[in-house]
Amino acid sequence: MPEKIFIFDTTLRDGEQSPGCSMNLAEKLEMARQLERLGVDILEAGFPIASEGDFEAVCAVAEEIRGPIIAALARASQLDIDRAWEAVRSAARPRIHTFLATSDIHLQYKLRKTREEVLKQIAWAVGYAKSLCPDVEFSPEDAGRTDRNYLVECCHAAVEAGANVLNLPDTVGYCLEPEYEKMFADVKARVPGMERVMLSTHTHNDLGMAVANTLAGIRGGARQVECTINGIGERAGNAALEEVAMAIHVRRDVLPVFTEIHSEELYAASRLLTRLTGMVVQRNKAIVGKNAFAHEAGIHQDGVLKNTITYEIITPQSVGAPTNHIVLGKHSGRHALSKRYEELGYPLTKPELERAYELFCRLADRKKQVYDEDLLGFMDEGFEHIPEMYSLKLFQTVSSTEGRATATVELEKDGTTSHDSATADGPCDAAFRAIDRITGLTGEITDFAVHTVGPGTDGVAEVSIQAKFEGREFTGKSTNHNVVEAAAKAYLQAANKAAYELKRQEEKQAAHSGPIHTHKLTDQFFPGGY
Ligand code: KIV
Ligand code: ZN
């Protein structure tokens, strides 16, 4: 009988804590809703002690998302565990996920503790978490580089103290498949009481083996797998959920397991994450990349036309990906547009449809065919949940091969328009500076990516921007035929998010009539990091 693999999604924790992937509360909730639609079994909503924002987001997810178990991460300390419990206690099914490093490298250089001390701390932390929450997961961080006998002792201590789930992370993405598989088999065979405990994988992609190692862990006895949408996560990322789920599905002939993931929601989850974080997936990314179902070579096209089975092991429909068919032209109406969005997994509200139709007509006037990719690109233009404080009314740049570029920008805020101009070395920078002059916020670009959307030479440019305002990163994304205009709009979107966040902070501060203390990982809480 095939056994179920429980999907533990950590997009909002391990994923969100990686550079360029931060999300605000509304964005995390939107992502959590999609993860629920996707059918994840456990949703790790954040690391509540890391910051006030993380705490609030975990609380909000715990209150609203009722399908999956909601987990919160905590180091093995009372302060962390109390905070994690406070954040998830309102969930339908809460879980505390506590962790402590166990490799000699981490003990010596990071924790500066002996093996005996760490062993005691594990037993205490798991026992304490269990006194608060019936569902406790323990992770011996850097298990992949931990002495095997000592790892068995640590797991034993956690199981005796009441852990329901034992997660064995390859924290630094160092393990090869046979090693990772054997670690699970060893722990399963040598730790007493394992029949009551679920083993879990948690792999990182530093050597490009996160998904392969996840499958190895399953072969070794794991029945829970930790992964993220698009494989986002610390450094090279975590195992990509979409790849793990589809590998399990497609190769069920050799892996006698299954998941309850609704695979038709995978593409929508990937797109949503990209939209929220601005982190674009590579074209040739498995399952959700733009080229994942594209056939360019003549021989391949011929084979696929005869029978798709020749070169496709997964259908685009099974993961909810667009099939690249020509769908709409300038004679199409709102009905067809709304139907196509529905098929793509995005039922639109009336105002959203109006906005989409406006963008569609504008593009259809300039372009013969409008593709699914174009429609998805519109979503970055008009469906922002953050109120647009400033909107772009007029935009003009002058640049030449010599000399500086000039940009003039007109923005509207609350019915009042303001315009300003700026010069810089390039037209994009000039546009950003002109926007800064009007909003009064100064952004520093930390990432800038341009992609083409839609096939053919009449494809539009999709610009993703990451910019730092007042020490915090915000993202923006826009598509347009004019790259500079797309860049200006993407930048303005990031500036709008920053302005909205600053306003929110001010309002909160006024309500508390005192300063808000936010604790970041690097604050006095964790002088040595974690
Ligand atoms: O990679 C890791 O070890 C982690 C733990 C906190 C589970 O993310
Ligand atoms: Zn991790």
Span 290-344, pLDDT tens digits: 888 876 565 665 676 677 788 789 999 999 987 754 457 777 788 878 877 876 7
Task: Give the pLDDT of residue 430.
Answer: 95
Contact 14, 238 (CB under 8 A): yes
Nearest atom (ligand 1) to Cα of 10: 8
Residue nearest to atom 8 of ligand 1 (CA): 14
Shared-domain flag, residues 241 and 166? yes
Is residue 22 situated within a structural domain?
yes
**Mind giving me the DSSP string for 165-210?**
EEEEEETTS---HHHHHHHHHHHHHHSTTGGG-EEEEEEB-TTS-H
For the CA of 167, the nearest atom of ligand 1: 7
Check whether residue 60 and residue 92 sit in a common domain.
yes
Residues 369 and 490 both lie in one domain: no
**Contact status, residue 137 vs residue 186, Cβ threshold 8 Å:** no
What is the CA(15)–ligand 2 centre distance, in A?
Answer: 8
* Domain termination residue (choose one: 228, 252, 277): 277
Q: How confident is the model at residue 518 (pLDDT cuts 50, 70, 90)?
A: very low
CATH code of the domain in which 399 resides: 3.30.160.270
Give the strand order in the sheet containing 443-453.
Answer: 443-453, 460-469, 472-480
Q: How confident is the model over 384-403, as a mean pLDDT?
A: 81
What domain count does the chain have?
3
Pocket test for ligand 1, best of 98, 139, 165, 205 (most atoms within 8 A of CB): 139
Which ligand has the minimum distance to the alpha carbon of residue 106? Answer: 1
For residue 288, being part of any structural domain is answered with no
Question: Span 373-386, mean pLDDT?
Answer: 66
Same domain as 314, residue 177: no
Q: Name the band, by pLDDT with cuts 50, 70 and 90, for residue 365.
A: confident
Listed residue (520, 523, 317, 494) closest to 390, CA to CA: 494
Instruction: Please give the pLDDT value at position 528.
Output: 31
Rg, Å, the chain Cα set: 25
The domain containing residue 108 runs over which residues? 3-277
Q: Nearest Cα to 216, choosing from 139, 144, 319?
A: 144
- Same domain, residue pair 164 and 310: no
Using the mean position of ligand 2's atoms as its centre, give its distance from the Cα of residue 454 in Å: 35
Q: How confident is the model at residue 515 (pLDDT cuts 50, 70, 90)?
A: very low
Mean pLDDT, all residues of the chain: 89
Shared domain check, 47 and 122? yes
Look at residue 521 and tell me if it is in a domain: no
State whether the beta carbon of 97 lies less than 6 angstroms from ligand 1: no
- Whether residues 345 and 270 share a domain: the answer is no
Smallest-distance ligand from the CA of 238: 2
pLDDT of 110 reads 96
- Is the pTM above the cut of 0.75? no
Lowest mean pLDDT among 133-142, 267-276, 308-317, 431-440: 308-317
Examine the domain organization and report whether 254 and 311 are in the same domain: no
**Cα–Cα–Cα angle for 11, 12, 13, rounded to 5 degrees:** 95
Ligand 1, atom 1, residue with closest C-alpha: 171
Q: Does residue 372 sit within a domain?
A: yes
> What's the gap in Å between 171 CA and the centre of ligand 1?
6
Q: How far apart are CA 428 and CA 395, in angstroms?
A: 11
CATH number at residue 237: 3.20.20.70
Portion of the chain with pLDDT greater than 70, in percent = 90
16 lines ligand 1 (CB under 6 A): no
Q: Is 11 in the pocket of ligand 1 (CB under 6 A)?
A: no
372 or 320: which carries more pLDDT confidence? 320
217 and 360 share one domain: no
Query: Does 526 score more than 90 pLDDT?
Result: no
The pLDDT of residue 446 is above 70: yes
For ligand 1, whether the C-beta of 103 sits within 6 Å is no
Say if 526 falls within a structural domain: no
